[in-house]
Amino acid sequence: MKVFVVRHSIPDDGDGDPWEPENDDPGLTDKGKELVESLAKWMQDADEIPAIIYASPTQRTQETAEILRDKLEIMPRVVTDIGIGPHMSIRGLVRQVAEDKSIVRPLIVSHHESIEHGLRELNRDPWVHLDMFAQGEMRIYKVDREDARWDEHNRVLPSDLGGEDHY
Residue 47 has pLDDT above 80, yes or no: yes
Residue 131 contacts by C-beta under 8 Å, 6 or more apart in sequence? none
How would residue 25 be classed by pLDDT, with cut points 50, 70 and 90?
confident
pLDDT, position 13: 76
Q: Is the entire prediction scored with pTM above 0.95?
A: no
Residue 74's SS3 state is coil
What whole-number distance in Å separates Cα of residue 155 and Cα of residue 5? 9
8-12+22-161 maps to which CATH number? 3.40.50.1240
pLDDT exceeds 80 at position 73: no
| Residue type for position 98 | A
